[in-house]
Structure 1
Amino acid sequence: MAIVRAALAAALAALWTGAAHAAPEIGAAAPSLVVTTLDGRTFDLTKLHGKVVLVNYWATWCAPCRKEMPTLDAFYRRHREQGLEIIGISIDFARDSEKMRRMAASQTYPMARSGDISDNGFGQPEGVPVTYVIDAEGTVRDKFIAVPNKLLNDVVLPLLPH
């Protein structure tokens, strides 16, 4: 009986967090994403038409996430004036909020907690880090598992106006 209750609780949690949504398909229109950032602002993907957007899921316990954050931040600082936007979304539990906030404070791009998402067409990622690339027309162009500089330069940079 305890196993059945645990399975039911997991299924309900998946529905509540948006995990029931499938991950966006490459080449498809980007799904909706509305989240309150750590600084209290609303990040609404639909309002960023005309900009290239990276949606990055990460966690404090994820070593590859911590490794890629400075790369993403440097890329953002170099290219935000060209129309680049990044949103970092932590999948950490609420109990890890303080650690997550400390890590997020060192980044210049907006950060949010997955628990603060009000409209999530992306669903919960199967693993982290994962980054979706949305072009200026709102199409999902790529999905990265970890973000080396080469991928940013080869995939994202050509999408930005020069």
Structure 2
Amino acid sequence: MTPVPRRLWLTSAALAALAPARLLAQKKSELPLPALGSAVPLAPAPLLLGGEFQPAQAEGKALVLYWWASWCPFCAQQSPEMQKLWESQQGKGLQMLALSIDKTPEPAVAYLRKKGYTFPAAWLSPELAKVYPKPEGLPVTVVRGKDGRVAQAEKGQLFPEDVAQLAKWI
């Protein structure tokens, strides 16, 4: 067995000691990305800026599911690109449901208003999380294809060209 270099061991031990217990517990409970080709069930979702997402809206259309948070720096980089995608593709058959994982809906609403985002966004309440469980990572982007199955699944920040490429699923 190869010994672990002392510096690596000390770094790992220090990081583990600094990690809050709730983050470690959260990691254990988070799900992997959904498998390509797996079915994506839908449910109605009240939207943060008014209205409601209805599953019928996504029938026969591509649906982008986007888990994000108002406090996430990577989401702050990706969200403007998601807004551009929404503005350019909503009339062409693309549907979107952004799911805020903020602890309460108020910060998410304030963030959407401050940034001027109009993409459909809901707060991931405990009830809604039963239908739309958040995969590990943040942000997370999953494309539900026209057939209702996962066509693409990504965790972590997508770059502008990657977000623009989501339109290929229309």
Pick aligned residue for 1:93 from 99, 103, 123? 103
Instruction: Find the aligned partners of 1:53 and 1:144 in 2 and give their Cα distance.
Output: 14
The answer for unaligned runs of 5 or more in structure 2 is 1-20
Percent identity for Structure 1 against Structure 2: 24
Aligned residue in 1 for 2:73: 63
State the superposition RMSD in angstroms.
Answer: 2.7
What is the TM-score normalised by the length of structure 2? Answer: 0.71
CA offset digits 1:60-102 (Å, max 9, x no partner): 11100011010010111011111111111110112xx433212
CA offset digits 1:23-70 (Å, max 9, x no partner): 532111212343211134222335411111111000111100011010
Instruction: Find the aligned partners of 2:58 and 2:30 in 1 and give their Cα distance.
Output: 25
Instruction: Find the aligned partners of 1:142 and 1:119 in 2 and give their Cα distance.
Output: 20
Instruction: Find the aligned partners of 2:50 and 2:126 in 1 and give their Cα distance.
Output: 10
The residue type equivalent to 1:29 in the other structure is A
Equivalent residues of 1:36, 1:116 under 8 A apart? no
**Which protein is bigger by CA-based radius of gyration?**
2
Aligned residue in 2 for 1:79: 89
**Structure with the higher helix share, 1 or 2:** 2
Equivalent residues of 2:144, 2:152 under 8 A apart? yes
Q: Across the two proteins, how many residue pairs are aligned to each other?
A: 144
Aligned residue in 2 for 1:42: 52
Aligned residue in 1 for 2:120: 110
The answer for unaligned runs of 5 or more in structure 1 is 1-5
Instruction: Find the aligned partners of 1:33 and 1:144 in 2 and give their Cα distance.
Output: 21
Residue 149 of structure 1 pairs with residue 160 of structure 2: yes
**Structure with the higher strand share, 1 or 2:** 1
